[in-house]
């Protein structure tokens, strides 16, 4: 047995406990840091070979681990842009260096340029939203991401494209009978254009005709079911193209389930061709022995400024306009790796992939195993103060015990030196 080895073993133990105290200090300091994941010190024995009956004292080594996959509790706030992930995954943020990182710290604040930045200065990233299809994701990389921007200094306009109109046509009315109702659509300039839908009986029970017309400022009537609606028919709606409607014996519309109008240019703006749903399995048009009734709507947004925003649990960012309309603009991107606890932590409570974490896999909230997004909430640190204080006391006592080993070895060395005297 070597006295020097005993002293080195004591030093090894003190260094190991110092490392543990360092992680405890970090954890306690960040107990209130949003999205912080605690660090812990794992100990491993270091054994040296013994020869000739002499024991060589070894020591202890340490390894720092992070509980990144352990979810914290939630604190609810009044800010829509405070975000938390309930489940697996990370937000994608961009640093001042232009590089993308992963984080669970979702305390985002709208900046003067419209971007969302958290308290560490990282900007939230996402994909432009499409109502027809999800954007193509680069599964193992951050290509295609954009900074989410809520700014919209200009007035917003969205031309109408589709809608629905469900009516009840009174089956007990004598032929001839007609009834009209209207829906408002928006052209490309944000002007409102009133479309008139006229329902008329035919000589055959269970069959009706439908015409769709638009009356311009001069009083001229345009046939919206005609391929040339720009040419006014200058007559009553009865002269317009008729769409035949058929109902079965239970009063349900059987054909068609939707109608399509043609586009036309009005006052320098373009009124798009519209697809109007008039039937369907639930809530479609009917022919029953009751009074005429109608409900319907056409999409589109007239000139309106942004009044606020909302974020859904699947990460779609909606802009809310002054007229009450909401328009989806972005979809928040999420990422994950095969071994989150092996990610490399960096200042600012962000992470990058490491050789042991696996590659980054992209996705959306609520899909493919990713968690949902909570708007108006923040994920708390997963640090348990009671546990950390207990670890602090243990480390203090163990440090003292290891120092006693070093002190004893030093005293024995002094005895050995004094033998010569």
Residue 136 pLDDT grade (very low, low, confident, very high; cuts 50, 70, 90): low
pLDDT surpasses 90 at 56: no
User: Of 97, 110, 93, 85, which Cα lies nearest the Cα of 145?
Assistant: 93
**Lowest mean pLDDT segment, chosen from 44-48, 151-155, 199-203, 415-419:** 151-155
Q: Judge residue 23's burial from the number of C-beta atoms within 10 Å of its C-beta, 0-12 exposed, 13-18 middle, 19 or more buried.
A: buried
The span from the CA of 421 to the CA of 408, in Å, is 21
Has domain 158-304 been given CATH number 2.60.98.20? yes
Q: Is the dihedral of CA 347, 348, 352, 357 positive or negative?
A: positive
The span from the CA of 276 to the CA of 282, in Å, is 15
Residue 405: what pLDDT? 82
pLDDT surpasses 60 at 153: no
Residue ranges covered by each domain of the chain: 3-67+382-418, 77-149+329-379, 158-304
Residue 192: what pLDDT? 92
pLDDT tens digits, 363-382: 889 888 899 999 999 999 99
Q: Contact, 34 vs 119, CB < 8 A?
A: yes
The span from the CA of 6 to the CA of 186, in Å, is 85
pLDDT tens digits, 273-318: 999 999 876 568 999 999 999 999 999 888 877 778 899 998 999 8
Q: Contact, 394 vs 401, CB < 8 A?
A: no
| Mean pLDDT, range 58-87, rounded to an integer | 91
pLDDT tens digits, 207-254: 999 999 999 988 999 999 999 998 888 777 788 999 999 999 999 999
pTM for this model (two decimals): 0.66
User: Of 415, 416, 417, 403, which Cα lies nearest the Cα of 7?
Assistant: 403
Residue 12: what pLDDT? 85
Relative to beta strand 74-76, strand 100-103 is unpaired
- Percentage of the chain modeled with pLDDT above 90: 60
Residue 421: what pLDDT? 64
The 3-state secondary structure of the chain, one letter per residue: CCHHHHHHHHHHHHHHHHHHHHHHHHHHHCCCCCCCCCEEEEEEEECCCCECCECCCCEEEEEEEECCCCCCCEEECCCCCEEEEECCCEEEEECCCCCEEEECCCECEECCCCEEECCCCCEEEEEECCCCCCCCCCCCCCCCCEECECCCCCCEEECCCEEEEEEEEECCCCCCCEEEEEEEEECCCCCEEEEEEEEEECCCCCEEEEEEEEECCCCCEEECCCCCCCCECCCCHHHCCCEEEEECCCCEEEECCEEECCCEEECCEEECCCEEECCCCCCCCEEECCCCEEEEEECCEEEECEEEEEECCCCEEEEEECCCCEEEEEEEEEEECCCHHHCEEECCCEEECCCCCCCCEEEECCCCCCCEEEECEEECCCCCHHHHHHHHHHHHHHHHHHHHHHHHHHHHHHHHHHCCC
């Amino acid at each position: 047995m070597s006295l020097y080895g005993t002293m080195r073993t004591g030093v090894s133990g003190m260094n190991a406990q110092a490392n543990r105290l360092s992680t405890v200090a970090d954890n306690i300091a960040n107990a209130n840091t949003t999205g912080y994941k605690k660090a812990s010190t794992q100990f491993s024995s270091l054994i040296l070979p013994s020869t000739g009956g002499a024991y060589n004292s070894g020591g202890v080594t340490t390894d720092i681990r992070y509980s990144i996959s352990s979810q914290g509790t939630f604190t609810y706030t009044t800010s829509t842009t405070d975000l938390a992930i309930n489940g697996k995954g990370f937000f994608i943020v961009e640093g001042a260096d232009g590089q993308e990182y992963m984080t669970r710290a979702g305390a985002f604040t709208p900046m003067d340029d419209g971007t969302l930045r958290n308290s560490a200065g990282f900007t939230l990233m996402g994909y432009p939203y499409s109502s027809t299809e999800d954007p193509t994701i680069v599964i193992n990389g951050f290509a295609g991401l954009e900074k989410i921007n809520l700014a919209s200094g200009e007035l917003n306009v969205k031309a109408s494209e589709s809608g629905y109109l469900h009516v009840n046509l009174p089956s007990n009315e004598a032929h001839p009978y007609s009834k009209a109702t209207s829906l408002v659509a928006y052209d490309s300039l944000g002007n409102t254009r009133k479309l008139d839908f006229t329902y008329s009986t035919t000589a055959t029970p269970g069959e009706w005709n439908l015409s769709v017309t638009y009356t311009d400022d001069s009083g001229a009537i345009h046939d919206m079911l005609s391929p040339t609606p720009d040419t006014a028919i200058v007559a009553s709606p009865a002269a317009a193209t008729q769409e035949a409607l058929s109902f079965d014996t239970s009063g349900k519309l059987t054909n068609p389930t939707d109608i399509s109008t043609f586009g036309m240019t009005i006052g320098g703006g373009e009124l798009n061709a519209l697809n109007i749903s008039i039937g369907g399995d639930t809530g479609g048009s009917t022919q029953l022995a009751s009074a005429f009734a109608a409900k319907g709507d056409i999409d589109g947004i007239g000139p309106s400024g942004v009044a606020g925003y909302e974020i859904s649990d699947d990460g779609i960012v909606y802009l809310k306009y002054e007229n009450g309309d909401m328009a989806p603009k972005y979809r928040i991107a999420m990422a994950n790796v095969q071994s989150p606890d092996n990610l490399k932590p960096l200042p600012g409570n962000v992470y990058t992939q490491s050789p042991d974490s696996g590659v980054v896999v992209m996705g959306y909230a609520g899909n493919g195993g990713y968690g949902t997004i909570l708007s108006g909430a923040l994920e708390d640190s997963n640090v348990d103060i009671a546990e950390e204080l207990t670890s602090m006391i243990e480390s203090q006592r163990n440090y003292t015990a290891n120092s006693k080993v070093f002190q004893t070895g030093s005293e024995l060395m002094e005895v050995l030196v004094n033998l010569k005297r």
